[in-house]
Amino acid sequence: MTREQIRRIHSPIRASKLLNRNQNQSKRGILETPQVRTGQSQFEAVFSQQDMTATAGVIIRNHEGFVIGACTYPLGRTGDLTTAETNVYLQAAIFGKEMGFRELVVEGDTLIVIKKLKSDSVDRSVIGNIINEI
């Protein structure tokens, strides 16, 4: 079994332990705000070529690796998979900001988007406006 497979098995277990711990603390009125506000965002986009529609899923973990937020975003009609993936990057950044993270490590696998985000030049492509918003 690979490390990634083990991590996938243990993540829901750790998340449920965190939820139980937070429920117990809130009963006692001791719910504390976390000291570290760094998170990690993982996401995936699903694109239907027949319908030209996409849906995004985002998971946010805290600095300890616990899942503290998850959501899906229907992206509606989307031109192609690259546009869908770029929109997911944006949604992951927005979701992390809404959750109060000062720093967010966004993990993605679309090399085109990663290169455009790292570039200092003005992007005039179809996804340029989304890149500028991120």
Same domain, 16 and 58: no
Same domain, 61 and 106: yes
Kindly report the CA angle at 43 between 5 and 96, in degrees rounded to 5?
A: 120
Same domain, 22 and 51: no
Ranges of residues in the chain with a pLDDT under 50 are 1-2, 5-33
d(C-alpha 132, C-alpha 116), whole Å: 9
Tokens 């998340």, located at residue: 15
Same domain, 11 and 40: no
The DSSP code for 87 is H
Same domain, 106 and 56: yes
Element (H, E) at 25: helix 3-28
d(C-alpha 134, C-alpha 97), whole Å: 11
The confidence score (pLDDT) of residue 130 equals 92
Same domain, 28 and 39: no
Count of the separate structural domains present in the chain: 2
The confidence score (pLDDT) of residue 59 equals 94
Same domain, 40 and 21: no
Same domain, 37 and 2: no
The confidence score (pLDDT) of residue 26 equals 41
Same domain, 44 and 23: no
The confidence score (pLDDT) of residue 4 equals 52
Give the domain extent around 109: 33-133
